Amino acid sequence: MSLEREAAVDRLETLIETVDSGPMPVPVREVWVYGDLALGMDPIDRLDVYLTKDILLENDEARDQAYYDKHGVRGVGTAVDADWADEFPDAVRANDHGHVAPERCLAAHLLDDDEPIHLEVCNTSFEDNVTQRLRGARLREDYTQLLDPRGVCLWVDGTWSSEAFEKLRESAFAMPTLSASLEMLGMDESAANEAAAAVHAWREDQDGVTVRGDVV
C-alpha cells in the first residue's frame, strides 16, 4: 500500500487537527514529517511522522489504582491523562508489563491500524533526537534504530507552518540522500552507506502502522 503525495499531506493535516483540538493522552508539543514525503517522492511507501511529547504532570494515583482494579493496566492518571482514557477507552494501550504506553496510545488515538504510517514519539525535539539516536545506533551497531534526519517541522504548540505545508505540496524541499545526510552528521562514507541500507531494508519490512517511543 502506498500514498499519493497529495493524500499524504492531507492525512498529515487531519492528524495535526486531531492533535490541535485535543484531548490527547499526553501533551504534544511538536509534529514533524521526515523521510519520503519530505523528499518530495510521489507516491510514498510510508508516511513518517515524529511527535515531541511532554511528560504528563498529572499524578492521580487514586484514578490509577481504580483503573488498574477494573482493567488491570497501570499508569492511567500518572502516565496518560485519565480523562482522555475515560473518553477514549478503546485507544488505551499497555506494554508487555501491563503499564500504559503513551506512544502506543498516541498511535491508537491518531491512526488506523492499516495505514502505511510510522510514528516516532519522544520527549525531546526531532533535531536533538536525531543525534541521540545516531550515537546509540553506532554504539549498538544497530542502524535500524537511526532516525532519518531529513525532517520538516509542521506544528509547534498550536502554531501551524503554512509555508512548510505549501512546500510539501509543491515538493519544494531540497534534501540530500540519507547516506549523505549521515555523512553530514559525522559518519564516514562506508558506514553511512551501510547505515542507509539498513534503514531502507527495515522500512521495507514494515506494514501498516508502526510506532516507536523513546525517552532521552
Q: What is the pLDDT of residue 188?
A: 93
Place of cell 537511526: 146
Q: What is the pLDDT of residue 22?
A: 86
- Alpha-carbon distance of 215 to 101, in angstroms, equals 12
Q: Are strands 117-122 and 210-214 parallel, antiparallel or unpaired?
A: parallel
Reduced to 3 states, what is the DSSP secondary structure of residue 21?
A: helix
Segments in the chain below pLDDT 70: none
Q: What is the pLDDT of residue 174?
A: 85
C-alpha torsion angle, residues 207, 209, 215, 216 (rounded to 10): 60
Q: What is the pLDDT of residue 141?
A: 87
Q: What is the pLDDT of residue 108?
A: 98
Give the CA distances from residue 132 to residues 30, 124, 146, in Å, rounded to whole numbers and listed in that order: 18, 10, 9
Q: What is the pLDDT of residue 213?
A: 94
- Within 13 A of 65's CA, how many CA atoms are on the CB side? 3
Q: What is the pLDDT of residue 91?
A: 97
| Domain boundaries, position 89 | 5-214
Number of domains in the chain: 1
Q: What is the pLDDT of residue 216?
A: 74
Q: What is the pLDDT of residue 28?
A: 97
- Alpha-carbon distance of 14 to 18, in angstroms, equals 6
- Alpha-carbon distance of 123 to 147, in angstroms, equals 14
